[in-house]
Copies of this chain bind each other. A is one copy, B any other.
Amino acid sequence: MNTTDITLSPEHLLERLAWRYATKQFDRERKIDGPTWHALEEALRLSPSGGGLQPWKFVVVADPAVRERLVPASYGQTQVRDASHLVVFTVKTAFGEADVDAHVQKTATVRGIPAGSLAGFRHMLVGGIVNAKDPATRLGWAARQSYLALGTLLTGAALLGVDAAPMEGFDPARYDAILGLKEKGLTSTVICALGYRMDTDPYAALPKVRFDHDDVFLHV
């Protein structure tokens, strides 16, 4: 595939990454349109994950009454209510062999091959992800994958000109209860509000705070 005319310039990418910030005040009147939101859901769905195993579900909360109930479970942070869209990242609490089998079966279907021909692939995944890790470690592994998907979403949103607020300041147990996640075998790991900034958000104009290059890179 000739990619020369569809790749971004380095400057273009950096302009987009400099534009984004953790939005504090969202415009309640401005909604993300259908095609743009579809692309952001697709960015999540297409996100890489360890072994390709996608140990997640993305909960998109649109119901205003539920959004209102989530505010007190988020230390009062109003982005949860005011943003156009809210994504609650969740992972499977008991990721196991059946989940590996689902991925192996999907791989066989997509590639038009017998699932049996993927026995080595299955063995590697069950050994490395399921059997080699105790449940707590496996849950930690799954949670890390959800942050990878969050990174995909945040970068994708910046490229589309959509503002976002990734948030760890919420009570996962209360979220799980309000959203009925436990009975679905899921638990929330991180959340992200998306929409459009208010012109009055004082944080929009603040310079981005990052450590200097030499403080975060080692070259060997």
Footprint of B on A, CB under 8 Å? 1, 3-4, 6-8, 10-20, 22, 35-36, 38-39, 41-48, 50-52, 54, 56-63, 66, 102-103, 106-107, 110-111, 128, 140, 143-145, 147-156, 159-161, 166, 168-169, 179, 184, 189-190, 206-211, 213, 216-220
Contact = CB atoms under 8 A, between A and B. Distances in A.
Nearest to A39: B10
Contacts of A3: 19, 161
27 contacts: A3-B161, A6-B15, A7-B159, A8-B8, A10-B35, A10-B160, A13-B39, A13-B156, A13-B160, A14-B46, A17-B42, A18-B46, A41-B217, A52-B209, A56-B216, A58-B217, A60-B219, A106-B210, A110-B207, A140-B143, A144-B144, A144-B190, A147-B147, A148-B154, A155-B156, A159-B159, A179-B220
A208 B107 CA distance: 9
A60 B217 contact: yes
A14 B153 CA distance: 12
B220 A62 contact: yes
Contacts of A128: 169
Contacts of A43: 13-14, 17, 155
A17 B50 CA distance: 17
A44 B216 contact: yes
A163 B46 CA distance: 16
A142 to B, nearest CB: 11
